[in-house]
Amino acid sequence: MRFTRSSARKIIEVLALFVGSLLLCEAILSTLMAVFPRVRYHLTPSWKRGCIADPILGHRNSPFMPGHDRWGYRNVDVRHHVEVLALGDSFTYGFGAPPEGAWPRQVESLSGATVYNGGVGGYGPCEYEVVLDELLKLRPRIVVVGLLLGNDVADAYEAVAIHGRFPRYATKNPEVLSEIWRADQRGTLRELARTAGLEDEEQLYGREVGGLRTWISRHSSLYALARELKDLGDVTLHRGSVPPDSFRAAMRRPHRIAWETDPRFRTVFRLLEVENLAIDTDDPRIQEGMRITDRVLLSMRAKVADVGARMVIALLPNKPRAYASVVDEHNQVCLPPSFFRNVEFERRMTARYEAFLEKNGIPFVDTEPAFAKAFLRGIATFPESDDHHPNVAGYRVIAETIVPHLILTESSESIFKDHSLLDVP
């Protein structure tokens, strides 16, 4: 077949029509995303759509996520008044469990009190205070703050000193700044984390690798639509396959520690060298994080008292500290030193905060002993994968530990409809 000028013109016309159609579709989709937040939510990558940018908090949960109210918190709906307000990070949000499995929901079912879950993954003490300011309009009688010392202190330091948010908490002490500078010269916390293996984590879980494809993925609405259709097809195609969070799958990932001495509680721990950086109380950056956290807790206590409510701190253990009792029971010696350092560091920080809270008259409860008792009863409180969040049974342990501490006054007036719940074991 002879290639003529007229056939070339037709090919060009077809290509021009095709490109024009793509550009028109791109423009229409982009306009829909700009005008309708729900469209933008569904065309955002699945690993990003849960969060929206916030100038103060850094991010918020999207109100379009299933199981979230119109404020973006994990509740069935927005209430005008609640008896208990729960604040915290992903441990309070209930990551890894259905909404009814999160400890705030379980506190509600155990006590009969109305509870609002204000937990958001990735938040720290500074963000807890902002959420408190926002949600005091619910007029709670008790505010329960789930304090996860395994990362909350480091989160406070990062929010203030690294990201420059919450400047009122930034130190101006030249000696402190000098110590932090000297520590950073040996390696910032982020650099030390990369040295310990965080880069492998990013390669394992990262979805964008750079180049033209990454640019298109960030700027093209059509690409976003194609990606979501592909993901939907992948879910259908691989339904019933081995879950990626199983024990066997998790233990094969880099920098993982598999523990299966007791098959009932087998699990996988992750990157303890990295997590130890966040709780080393000898590090001046973590010391600064503790100073910030102290000030935030005192500020929150004052705000709660101003509205006639009461604040209770629930000290939540990270996975290694929760497992320490069952590991000790088996006289485990094959676990690496990083595991035992993690437990020691977190217990040291916990003791420090118990003394701080007691000195300042802030009621608190440490939930670690309840996890130890659960293991003695044969209850697995964490998943067998490398996820460091509790499972539903673990969140119930937290809820059962918190419930007896929901007392309103020194005369032991309770918010419970059934006062026998004060005797929850």
Model pLDDT for residues 349-404, shown as the tens digit of each residue: 999 999 999 999 999 999 999 999 999 999 999 999 999 999 999 999 999 999 99
Which has the higher per-residue pLDDT, 216 or 420?
216
Q: Which CATH superfamily is domain 85-199+243-423 in?
A: SGNH hydrolase (3.40.50.1110)
Please report, rounded to a whole number, the percentage of residues in the chain having pLDDT higher than 90.
59
From residue 362, alpha-carbon distances to 93, 123, 182 in Å are 23, 21, 34
- Report the C-alpha gap between 378 and 385 in whole angstroms: 18
> How much is the pLDDT for 13?
76
Residue 112, SS3?
coil
Give the DSSP letter of residue 55. T
Q: Nearest 5 degrees, angle CA 140-CA 146-CA 151?
A: 145
Rounded to an integer, the average pLDDT of 93-119 is 96
**Beta strand pairing call for 310-316 and 142-148:** parallel
Average pLDDT over residues 133-153: 97
| Best CA proximity match to 313, nearest among 62, 88, 11, 129 | 88
What pLDDT is stored for residue 217 in this prediction?
59
Average pLDDT (309-329) is 94
- Pair of tokens at residue 395: 């969140």
- Whether the pLDDT of residue 271 is over 60: the answer is yes
Cα 188 to Cα 155, 176, 193, 278, 373, distances in angstroms = 14, 15, 8, 12, 38
Could you tell me the residue ranges of all domains in the chain? 10-41, 85-199+243-423
Highest mean pLDDT: which range of 21-25, 218-222, 237-241, 395-399: 395-399
Least confident of 51-55, 111-115, 331-335: 331-335
Q: Taking 80 as the threshold, does the pLDDT of residue 47 lie above it? A: no
Per-chain mean pLDDT for the chain: 84
pLDDT at 86: 98
In angstroms, the Cα distances linking 125 to 119, 180, 292, 328, 363 are 11, 20, 8, 31, 17
The mean pLDDT value for 46-63 works out to 81
Q: How confident is the model at residue 282 (pLDDT cuts 50, 70, 90)?
A: very high
